[in-house]
């Protein structure tokens, strides 16, 4: 084997292992994100959920949603303070913040419903 | 021969990197925002505090329009979730109480998303007006 071929082989191995690491890192990030359910998976799980684990997965999804809504409510509250308090813009931001807080509470209630379903299924076992 | 091997190696690496980079968007089922979000929430807040020019107000208008689009998409998702919960009840998947509660919550969320989208559109329109004023 010529030294040039060795260099090419080393280079190829280096790039391939970098790619594998890159894919693994992306996979890890995706797993950390949004409680591992796409909208499609979520809807399918809602229809098919039968086990406590299924319901706990749905509960985790809705808890994540609640956190997202609460963070967004905080952002709109901060935005309201940046506009002149007498303007329509400030009112809109305040209303949005209130609406998002309610949406967060609703998502938390959905999480609680699914936790209840999981607990009941465990009891029935 | 050597240059061909190098070309093949580079091509395969590029292909792998392309697949890896595209993976998240292929697994997501909601269409991504066109060209990504125009502003982060932090940038939007900073711009609200300082916006003076037409260009800046138009940027905020676009930001709120994008947010409205997001809420419209979420409303659609919640509508579909209502259907999924109805289907699950029909199949008897939810033996435990709470099925009706989840539908009510989804209905509330879908309505709430639409109300928020409307409010955000009004904010976008208001910034468009401010842009026109700034131009004068």
Query: Predicted ipTM?
Result: 0.71
Minimum Cα–Cα distance from B44: chain A residue: A79
Q: What is the pLDDT of residues A73-112, one digit of tens each?
A: 999 999 999 999 888 999 999 999 999 999 999 999 999 9
Residue B136: predicted pLDDT = 79
pTM: 0.72
The mean pLDDT of chain B is 82
Per CB-CB distance under 8 Å, the chain B contacts of A4 are 2
Q: What is the DSSP string of A29-77?
A: HHHHGGGG--HHHHHHHHHH--SHHHHHHHHHHHHHHHHHHHHHHHHHH
Closest listed residue to residue A44, CA positions, set B9, B26, B10, B88: B88
Query: Given B21, B49, B112, which is nearest A102 (Cβ)?
Result: B112
User: Position of tokens 């076992």?
Assistant: A125
Whether A13 contacts chain B with CB within 8 A: no
Tell me the per-residue pLDDT of A11-42, one tens digit each, with 9 for 90 and over.
666 666 666 555 555 554 554 454 578 999 99
- Dist CA B113 CA B72 (whole Å): 7
A residues 91-110 near B, CB within 8 Å? Answer: 92-93, 95-96, 99-100, 102-103, 106-107, 109-110
Residue A91 token pair: 């009112």
Residue B11 has pLDDT above 80, yes or no: no
Q: What are the backbone angles phi and psi of residue B12, rounded to the nearest 5°?
A: -70, -35
């Amino acid at each position: 084997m010529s030294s040039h071929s060795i260099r090419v082989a080393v280079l190829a191995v280096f790039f391939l292992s970098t790619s594998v690491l890159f894919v693994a890192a992306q996979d890890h990030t995706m797993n950390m994100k949004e409680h591992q359910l796409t909208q499609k998976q979520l809807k399918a799980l809602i229809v098919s959920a039968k086990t406590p684990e299924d319901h706990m997965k749905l509960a985790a999804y809705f808890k994540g949603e609640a956190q997202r809504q609460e963070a967004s409510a905080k952002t709109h509250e901060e935005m309201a303070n940046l506009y002149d308090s007498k303007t329509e813009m400030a009112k809109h931001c305040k209303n949005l913040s209130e609406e998002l807080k309610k949406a967060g509470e609703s998502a938390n209630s959905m999480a609680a419903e699914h936790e209840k379903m999981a607990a009941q299924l465990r009891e029935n076992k | 021969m050597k240059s061909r091997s190098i070309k093949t190696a580079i091509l395969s690496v590029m292909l792998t990197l392309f697949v890896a980079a595209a993976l998240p968007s292929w697994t997501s089922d909601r269409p991504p925002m066109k060209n990504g979000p125009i502003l982060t929430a932090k940038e939007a807040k900073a711009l609200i505090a300082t916006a003076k020019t037409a260009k800046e107000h138009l940027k905020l208008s676009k930001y709120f329009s994008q947010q409205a689009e997001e809420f419209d998409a979420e409303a659609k998702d919640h509508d579909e979730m209502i259907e999924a919960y109805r289907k699950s009840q029909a199949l008897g998947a939810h033996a435990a109480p709470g099925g009706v509660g989840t539908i009510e919550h989804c209905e509330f969320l879908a309505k709430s998303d639409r109300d928020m989208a409307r409010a955000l559109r009004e904010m976008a329109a208001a910034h468009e007006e401010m842009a026109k004023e700034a131009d004068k």
